Structure 1
Amino acid sequence: MRMAYIARSVLPSEAANAVHVARMCAALAGEGADLRLFAHQGRPASDMAGLAQIYGLRHPFALRLYDMKHPLDRLGWRARALLQAWREGRRTVLTRDVPTAALATRWGFATVLELHHPPAPDSDKGRALALAQARGARLVAITAQLAAHLEAQLNLPAGAVAVLQDGADLAPEPAPPPPGRRLVAGYAGSLLPGKGVELIAALAPLVPEVAFVVLGGPETARRDWQARVSAPNLSFLPRVAPAEVARHIAGFDVALLPNARHVGTSGGGITDIGAWTSPLKAFEYMALGRAILASDLPNLREVFSDGRNALLCPPEDPEGWVAPLRALAVDAGLRTRLGDAARQDLATRYSWAARARAMLTLLAQRP
């Protein structure tokens, strides 16, 4: 399939949306798609080889990055991307950007719009979403919770919005930890409100026999947390390139996914994605076969089943995480069973390759 992926993501950057877009494009290319990604240029500027190193991409794809500091690139970049796609014979568009979907459907492109949160119905993006859908855009949501919300918002029948969770590449199984090492419970990801660092900071003093590690976040936020938290068994590690995250997760005995009910974002006019999110780190944990402790939330229960591939704990209640964590600390067999089940689920249902195949099926369908 000859196609275009048009994204507002800045590449390179360590934003979750950039990681998602880059790895999804690589997966689509790996499944045979002739794809060009149109996105925004980060600093320092990078080519495909550089992006492959930063994101750990296994399959190259064509690339056009717009320098949004340059007036000519900033002006009408969506239209320019669609015009180039048309000239190259790319009649199919995948995007996470609602205005791009509205324009692409108006110009006759077969379009799939992937949504990670719902735009407000009375906003410009909400109206553009309704237009894109009415013109034939196929909608994809990252959770069933979000799909149901969009169907209600747009007055669509159940099942009209497809569901494709986020994904990860299956990673080599990590070596076992050295005998006698202190158990490590780790978190990799954002330090934004609601992602769960607040819970980890409260949990660490309650389980002093466990070493806690938080990996990621901007330097200023990391230093702020270090100044606020005095627990000697909690360490904050600097953010690393996306390709290096798996190496650190491999060192966790227990992987923490402590989402709150309300989760903040870094911008874009959306203030709460807690009900919709499908965290990339969840699938990265699964890919490495880590035993996972996760918040018991409806969107996370779409992937995790308590006692089968994770242990689910009450969100925003540190005391409710103590007993499950201690159970994992003393039972290596339980950690192995949960981790193996999570890894098998990733391999069969949530790999980037499986997601790309499902997306290509949707892209091939015509309204």
Structure 2
Amino acid sequence: MRILFHHRIASRDGQAVHIEELIAALERQGHETILVGPPGFTATAFGGSNPLVDRIKQAIPGALYELLEVAYNLKALLRLRAAVRRHRPDVIYERFSLFLFAGIWVRRLSGLPLLLEVNSPLYEERAKNDGLRLHWLGRWAQRLLWNRADAVLPVTGVLAGTIAEYGVPPARITVIPNGIDPTRFGSVPDTEAAKAALGLPPRMVLGFTGFIRGWNAVHRLIDFVAAHRDRLDLHILVVGDGPARDSLQDHARARGVADRLTISGIVGRDDVARMTAAFDIAVLPGLTPYSSPLKLFEYLQLGRAIVAPDTANIREVLTDGKDALLFDAAQDGALEDALLRLCGDAALRQRLGEQAKRTITEKSLTWDRNAERVVAIAEAAIGHAQGQLVGEAAATRV
């Protein structure tokens, strides 16, 4: 199968990981993929972004920037149509972006089925976090895009519920969570060797991987370490970087535990596993209620003891007491109680970690399995489209 993979991503972060891992899995299975998107994407270093886009976004009013997003469709349409004519794909697979209409336009012009991957409800997310100005346009665009795709592929059941509320028939919605390529995590050092390689002291390490934002609530780990410094020899390792880095370091200094916090900064994808291997306890202190965190699958594959919020999207993957300890995010002290329990019970940490790794296999949480499901959905959509063409041709003859 020839798959045209369309996106509008300028930064190389978790979004890029999803794209690259799924494409690699599809190609391992013998399918041909054609990546179509902003030309600077593949040249951007991991962790980087398009500086021109960043400057424009900061320099102009929000409403004008949103109109520029709509205007971008003219360029995207020309690029996408040229790719269709040159490569003659069987299907278009697109990563959902608010205001990106080129995919549904080309679907209408070419008759090619469109599969739409949805990682978040961008209208709601941007309205809450980014100060979206053109609310009416954003909500209209999201409804239009979700309803015009032949198949909508959200990463969680929670997100699938939101998509259904926009009028998309359940038969066109298939949940495909994020996954893992186990071969990337095949040869990592044991925990103590990983700590030594990173120059960490021989303490119990509480770890977090990813882009550091305020809502990640990593500051709660600092508060926990500060509160228990007299009885527990703990260290915090953050593998990643982000806008909340400085505030975390300031908070650690204010709590007197600056020497117990290490933030790696941006690291290459191939370095994530060897650094995460230093975690004794892998923590998700906070997360959005609809997400499928990439870090979660890394924690599982590495066999870490996991602490995570007891939310619906997390329960789609984890089971409390089996492969993780889940805490009630609305209850004061629940995260800290879970951490205390794990810090004091080595046998529990080992049991949860061993089961965590088995969960990957038991639930088929791999990119290869995701690719198989995408292909099956694409084949069904192609068959449906061909059936419609045959029906229309027969009706014309009559």
Is 188-197 or 117-126 further displaced after alignment? 117-126
Matched with 1:146 is: 159
Q: Structure 2 vs 1, CA of residues 24 and 207 (structure 1 numbering), >3 Å: closer, same or farther?
A: farther
Q: For residue 43 of structure 2, what is the aligned residue in structure 1?
A: 45
Task: Name 1:355's counterpart in structure 2.
Answer: 370
Aligned to 2:246: 223
Shift of 1:257: 1.0
Code of the aligned partner of 2:246: R
User: What aligned pairs does 1:16-95 form with structure 2 within 5 A after superposition?
Assistant: 16-42=14-40, 45=43, 76-95=75-94
Q: CA deviation at 1:188?
A: 0.7
Report the counterpart of residue 219 of structure 2 in structure 1: 198
> How big is each residue's C-alpha offset from its partner over 1:309-362, in whole Å with a ceiling of 9 and x where there is no partner?
110113266732233223322333222221222212213421111111111111
Of residues 107, 110, 113, the one that matches 1:110 is: 113
| AA partner of residue 337 (structure 1) | R
The answer to whether the Cα contact below 8 Å between 1:186 and 1:213 also exists between their aligned partners in 2 is yes
Corresponding residue SS for 2:166:
helix
CA distance in structure 2 between the aligned counterparts of 1:113 and 1:347, rounded to whole angstroms: 26
| 1:139–1:44 distance in 2 versus 1, CA, 3 Å | closer
Between the two proteins, the alignment pairs up a number of residues equal to 331
Q: Quick one: which amino acid aligns to residue 284 of structure 2?
A: L
The 8 Å contact of residues 104 and 111 in structure 1, kept in 2 or not, is answered as no
| Greater Cα offset, 204-213 or 303-312 | 204-213
Describe the SS at the equivalent of 1:162: coil
Residue 43 of structure 1, CA deviation: 7.7
The DSSP-based 3-state class of the residue aligned with 1:289 is coil
- Note the C-alpha offset of 1:156: 2.6
CA distance, structure 1, for counterparts of residue 298 and residue 330 of structure 2: 23
Which residue is 1:211 aligned to?
235
Q: Is 2:3–2:90's contact at 8 Å kept on the other side of the alignment?
A: yes
SS at the partner of 1:84? helix
Cα 1:257/1:91, change in 2 over 3 Å:
same
Question: In the alignment, what sits opposite 2:341?
Answer: 327
Q: Which has the higher helix share?
A: 2
Taking the aligned partners of 1:43 and 1:101, their CA distance within structure 2 comes to 18
Matched AA of 1:165: P
Deviation at 1:151, TM superposition (A): 0.6
1:38, 1:197 → 2: CA distance? 36
Q: Judge conservation of contact 1:119–1:126 (CA < 8 Å) in 2.
A: no
Q: Give the counterpart letter for 1:315 in structure 2.
A: A
Q: Which residue number in structure 2 is paired with residue 254 of structure 1?
A: 281
1:289 match:
303
Q: Report the TM-score, using the length of structure 2 for normalisation.
A: 0.75
For residue 105 of structure 1, report the CA deviation from its aligned partner: 2.3
Question: 1:38-86 deviations in whole A, cap 9, x for unaligned?
Answer: 122448936xxxx8xx69xxxxxxxxxxx989xxx99512431232133
Note if 1:169 corresponds to 2:181. Answer: yes
Match of 2:353 in 1: 339
TM-score of the superposed pair, with normalisation by structure 1 = 0.80
RMSD: 3.0
Q: Which moved more, 1:341-350 or 1:142-151?
A: 341-350
Relative to structure 1, the CA distance from residue 43 to residue 2 in structure 2 (aligned partners, 3 Å threshold; closer, same or farther) is: closer
Partner of 2:169: 156
SS in 1 for 2:347: helix
Q: Which has the higher strand share?
A: 1
CA distance in 1, matches of 2:211, 2:19: 17
Q: Does 1:315 align with 2:329?
A: yes
Q: Is the 8 A contact 1:101 1:137 kept in 2?
A: no
The 1-side partners of 2:53 and 2:236 are apart by: 40
SS, match of residue 112 in structure 1: strand
Q: Shift in Å at residue 129 of structure 1?
A: 4.6
Q: 1:316 to 1:40 in 2, by over 3 A?
A: farther
Closer/same/farther in 2, CA of residues 229 and 30 from structure 1, 3 Å limit: same
Give unmatched runs, 5+ long, in structure 1: 56-66, 261-273
Q: Which amino acid aligns with 1:9?
A: I
- What are structure 2's unaligned runs of at least 5 residues? 55-71, 125-134, 194-200, 385-398
Rg (Cα) greater in structure? 2
* Structure 2 CA distance for aligned equivalents of residues 138 and 92 of structure 1: 11
CA contact (8 A) 2:324 2:352 kept: yes
Whether contact under 8 Å (1:206, 1:322) holds in the other structure is: no
Secondary structure in structure 2 of the residue aligned to 1:194: helix
Contact 1:168 1:287 in 2 (8 A): yes
Contact in 2 for aligned 1:102/1:128 (Cα 8 Å): no
